[in-house]
Amino acid sequence: MSSVLVVYSGGLDSYTLLNKAIKNFNHVEAITFNYGQKHSKEIEYAKSNCTELNIKHEVVNLELESILADSALVGKTDIPEGNYDKEKMKQTIVPNRNMIMISVAASLAIKNQIDHLWYAAHSGDHEIYPDCRPEFIDRMTAVLEICDYHKIKFEAPFQNLSKSQIVEAGLSMNLDYSKTWTCYEGKEKPCSKCSACLERALSFKANNTEDPLNDI
């Protein structure tokens, strides 16, 4: 029986990936990380969706605030507003976050004898985030094939897609994106000012549709 563990943040990309996994595997599990980010709203969305989809879901508390605090997503630095200006957006890099999360996820996959490990890096992440680039994915793939007697096939199915293409794929699956949270702020409504909100808005606009979170 084919099986996959999805690294699932609760955001738009990983929600789409989770639903793609459901269509492609007999058995799907999900893992979500609390690494000390400024809010837990995405985590709550992830919990709710996994409960609704009846997917086994592990939430791991990494408690890395003191190590990762220089990132605007974790520490006291304000979330930068505006589009993806490269230097400004470097403030949102969480050092080595994906390697840490993927390593922990691999341990769970090995424990549960799961064959595939998926995460939702996409082409829009490549310029800013080193741990979303194809060369990072290639090397992690090689490492996870030899890290244990149980081989893991590590994949990033969206690595060549833009966020608008991910939205397009999700809309073709009739996904309800009101069940996702993208904003770097954890307030009642998305801020519509941070780069994550702006990129999300452009992705829905490119697909000639409205973001359902606009109705909150």
Residue range 138-166: average pLDDT?
94
Q: What percent of the chain has pLDDT over 70?
A: 80
Reported as a single tens digit per residue, the pLDDT across 3-55 is: 999 999 999 999 999 999 999 999 999 999 987 776 788 999 999 999 999 99
Residue range 191-196: average pLDDT?
84
Q: Are strands 3-7 and 116-118 parallel, antiparallel or unpaired?
A: parallel
49 contacts: CB under 8 Å, gap ≥ 6:
10, 15, 18, 55, 179
Residue range 145-164: average pLDDT?
94
> Hey, what amino acid is at 126?
H
The token pair at 126 is 């490549």
**Residues written for the chain:** 216
pTM of the model: 0.86
- Cross-strand bridge partners of residue 7: 31
Residue range 138-154: average pLDDT?
93
Rg (CA), the chain: 16
What is the per-residue pLDDT for 71? Answer: 46
Residue 75 pLDDT exceeds 50: no
Phi and psi, residue 58, nearest 5°: -110, 125
What is the per-residue pLDDT for 100? Answer: 87
CA 216/CA 211 separation, integer angstroms: 10
Residue 84 pLDDT exceeds 90: no
Selection from 170, 172, 192 nearest residue 79 by Cα:
192
Phi and psi, residue 119, nearest 5°: -140, 165
Output the average pLDDT for the chain.
85
Higher-confidence position of 94 and 51: 51
Q: Does residue 94 sit in helix, strand or coil? A: coil
Q: Which of 105-114, 140-149, 194-203 shows the lowest per-residue confidence on average (mean pLDDT)? A: 194-203
Question: Domains of the chain, with CATH numbers?
Answer: 3-215 (3.40.50.620)
13 contacts: CB under 8 Å, gap ≥ 6:
120, 122, 158, 163, 166
Selection from 155, 84, 79, 75 nearest residue 115 by Cα:
155
Q: Are strands 116-118 and 56-61 parallel, antiparallel or unpaired?
A: unpaired
CA 39/CA 119 separation, integer angstroms: 21
CA 6/CA 20 separation, integer angstroms: 10
Highest mean predicted confidence (pLDDT) among 152-161, 180-189, 195-204: 152-161
> Hey, what amino acid is at 13?
D
Reported as a single tens digit per residue, the pLDDT across 60-73 is: 987 765 555 554 44
> Hey, what amino acid is at 202?
L
Residue range 120-134: average pLDDT?
75
CB burial class (10 A; 0-12, 13-18, 19+) of residue 1? exposed
Residue range 83-102: average pLDDT?
64
